[in-house]
Amino acid sequence: MPDSRLVIENCALATMDASGTEYATGHVVVAGHRIESAGPGPAPGDLADVVRRIDGDGHLVTPGLVNTHHHFYQWLTRGLAQDCNLFDWLVSLYPVWARIDEPMVHAAAQGSLAALALSGVTTAADHHYVFPRGAGDLLGAEIRAAADMGVRFSPTRGSMDRGASDGGLPPDFAVESTEEALLATEAAIDRWHDPSPASMLRVGVAPCSPFSVSSGLLRSAATLARAKGVRLHTHGSETREEEEYCMLRYGMSPTELLESTGWLGPDVWMAHCIHMSDSDIARFADTGTGVAHCPSSNARVAAGLARVPDLLAAGVPVGLGVDGSASNECGRLGAELRNALLINRLGAHREKALTARQALRMGTMGGARVLGREDEIGSLEPGKLADLALWKLDGLLHSSIADPVAALVLGAPAPLTLLLVNGEPVVEDGHLVTADEDAIARDTRTQARRLAALAGLGTPAQNT
């Protein structure tokens, strides 16, 4: 039986294909879970089995956005440690996070995924690395939430094995042993990873950061990931303090440490990568190592300005990330398109740093490359998975911007008329169709208050 078809026409298209093809007026035909055609003018008039036809007048169609770095559990601790640098922020929040449990993580994942989907995200990566003893099935809680939301999911099983007594940053009660971390990571891959084409669930290996894990865990985790055929993810070169820590403890820069432990390669992506030398950028480019750029979070904790124009010029794969909601309370990847462009223009390249189209490419095909899925998602091309966003740009806040890509990237957050993941609607007319937004709000509020009580947090004024 032929696939049923959904047709969107009379809309602008930004395909994000290799040539950057755009159409002022065009169409997209979705057949089942895949894009059948995307081109100029109206859809072919002789299509059979069309079950839905959408007039896209005043709209722009793009590939669905790809979020390459997040910490879902942090949704419950938004608004805390408001005026801290990264290390002080972490020291403030680790004791709180050490009290999370399965109901909390499930609620936090629902909140994080809802915010992402409502901002155009069809594929989301998450880095979960806090596993208190007796807390329940935390990774499973996230995976259930993503399946219910209908979003393509790339969870990474994180870990920390170096507590404060061993020279690390996290408190001892927040870490695992090296053996525990490796066994749990392997079990997560065996239980959940789906390597099949069009997979909705790909698991990665993700020790937290150079200042919270041992070199032995880094090395063994890389060996495990490659034996299992999964991708590797961690934080890298995020702050000057991290660089000083690595030089003092290892006599190497963060990039040199990560390379020495097997953590550069086309199957690896790093979050942040702010304090990169020319030689660091060259090594990332030579090895195909990817970067998750998180502009809002980088600014929130005063970590610095990543050299994104230089990374792109060198050929490094660069995607966008929200990062943890406690360092980016907005939680929406759509906002990172604008912030990536604006913040990078404050750097050495000034107005030449990024264009609106480069920002959108990072949020789509760039993210797909970083996650190793550029053959399946990230552009509107026949045969690719039907992950796409239909943005309404004819309202008050956008209608006088003639360039639809500029309207999306530089303008106010654009409402979604439709978000498809695997050809299935997740958002329609600005609202989730796969989940109850009010119920998620109630649950996240309840669990955030429960966590605050367990952690003995005081008034909001005391927590800033």
For 231, the enclosing helix (H) or strand (E) is none
Q: Classify residue 362 by its DSSP letter.
A: I
Cα angle 236-237-243, degrees, rounded to a multiple of 5? 125
On the question of pLDDT at 19 being above 80, the answer is yes
Average confidence (pLDDT) over 426-432: 98
- Beta carbons of 74 and 327 less than 8 angstroms apart: yes
Average confidence (pLDDT) over 376-394: 98
pLDDT in tens, 188-201: 999 999 999 999 99
- Beta carbons of 68 and 364 less than 8 angstroms apart: no
pLDDT of residue 1: 43
Average confidence (pLDDT) over 67-77: 98
pLDDT interval class at 2 (50, 70, 90): low
Domains in the chain and their CATH numbers?
5-63+379-432 (2.30.40.10), 65-370 (3.20.20.140)
pLDDT in tens, 238-262: 999 899 989 999 999 999 999 999 9
Strand partners, 206: 158
What is the Cα Rg of the chain in Å? 21
Pairing between β-strand 416-421 and β-strand 152-159 as defined by DSSP bridges: unpaired
Average confidence (pLDDT) over 303-313: 97
Pairing between β-strand 318-320 and β-strand 268-272 as defined by DSSP bridges: unpaired
- Amino acid, res. 230: V
Q: Classify residue 434 by its DSSP letter.
A: S
Rounded percentage of the chain residues whose pLDDT exceeds 90: 93
Residue 260 buriedness (CB in 10 A; 0-12 / 13-18 / 19+): middle
Lookup: tokens for 292? 């998750």
Strand partners, 157: 128, 205
Average confidence (pLDDT) over 171-181: 91
pLDDT of residue 45: 86
**Strands, DSSP E only, in 56-214?**
59-63, 65-67, 121-128, 152-159, 204-207
On the question of pLDDT at 3 being above 90, the answer is no
Lookup: tokens for 300? 């929130």
Average confidence (pLDDT) over 145-173: 93
On the question of pLDDT at 27 being above 90, the answer is yes
Q: Single out the residue of 258, 250, 254, 233 nearest to residue 242, CA to CA.
A: 254
